Amino acid sequence: MQSSSPRFQLSRRSLLGGLAVLPILSLPFMASHSVAQEEPVEIPPPSRDLKEAGTAAKLVVAGGCFWGVQGVFQHVKGVTQAVSGYSGGSAETATYDQTSRGDTGHAETVEVTYDPSVVSFGKLLQIYFSVAHNPTQLNFQGPDRGTQYRSTIFALNADQAEVAKAYIAELDGLKKFDGPIVTTIEQFKAFYPAEQYHQDFLTLNPTWPYIVRNDLPKIDALASLFPQDYRAEPVLVGELATS
């Protein structure tokens, strides 16, 4: 079965000099997709936030193509790592080719590690809803279609779930968006890092048409709407350690 993603369809992939080389490309969105992109929305922070100790905490979210979501969080001060991957399904189907079918339960996900003394869980949620994706699009983002592109917060604990649920209710009440927020809150089970060629994709491939059209505007919006939280140099994954 072919991938349902219009980003690309590949028969083989390789790495060359640290840059992703994607030899066989199909970009039908360039000609056939005319859809509203994920426009940034200026919203207040949540009225309730987590009080977290220590220097390392995690947020796990899905919001369409993980290239852009990862890229946004890599430019946030206090984020020490943002890794693209898969959550919601089993380890056996945690690959791009299988997740792209849309029947594995996985969503393209980003695991964000951050320092709570620099940036809070609530601030990261504000950025997630405001510029990282459009939370009113059900099972799609921009040109990408399927449950693997759903808007989801994978709550690591009950406190995260409660704060997220309350924030969604607040935002719906403010009616800042064109429609109701469809973001789901799912219990976190596991996170599986994506293939190496997906990591740091936005930074390594800034001239790709998909990146230029769909993702670079998110970075600009982050800098504009959150100047105190924005950093120009992203924190990159580099080579993932393998066991």
Q: Residue 41 gets which letter from DSSP? A: -
Closest to 150 in 3D by CA, of 27, 29, 4? 4
Pair 124, 76: CB distance under 8 Å: yes
- The catalytically annotated residue of 43, 61, 62, 65 is 65
Strands (DSSP E) along the chain, which ranges?
Answer: 14-16, 19-21, 57-63, 79-87, 107-114, 140-141, 144-145, 151-155, 184-187, 192-193
Query: What was the pLDDT predicted at 238?
Result: 80
Average confidence (pLDDT) over 222-239: 95
Strand 57-63: give its sheet, edge to edge: 184-187, 151-155, 57-63, 107-114, 79-87, 192-193
| pLDDT tier at 12, thresholds 50, 70, 90 | very low
The tokens for 28 are: 């039908």
Which residue segments constitute the domains of the chain, with CATH numbers given?
41-225 (3.30.1060.10)
Query: For residues 198 and 88, is the Cβ–Cβ distance under 8 A?
Result: no
Say whether 21 sits in a helix, a strand or coil. strand
Q: Which of the given ranges, 7-16, 38-47, 126-135, has the highest pLDDT on average?
A: 126-135
Q: What is the mean pLDDT of residues 31-36?
A: 34
Residue 32: CB atoms within 10 A of its CB come to 9
- Under a CB-based contact definition with an 8 Å cutoff, are residues 141 and 63 in contact? yes
Residue 157 has pLDDT above 90, yes or no: yes
Quick: pLDDT tens for 115-124.
999 999 999 9
Question: Residue 210 catalytic?
Answer: no
Tell me how far apart the terminal alpha carbons of the chain are, to the nearest angstrom: 31
**Cα distance between residue 233 and residue 21, in whole Å:** 23
DSSP state of 132: I
Helix (H) or strand (E) segment spanning residue 123: helix 121-127
Q: Are strands 151-155 and 184-187 parallel, antiparallel or unpaired?
A: parallel
SS3 at position 64: coil
Q: Give the per-residue pLDDT at 20.
A: 40
CB-CB neighbours of 204 under 10 Å: 17
Least confident of 2-6, 15-19, 43-47, 156-160: 15-19
Percent of the chain with pLDDT over 90: 81
**pTM of the entire structure?**
0.87
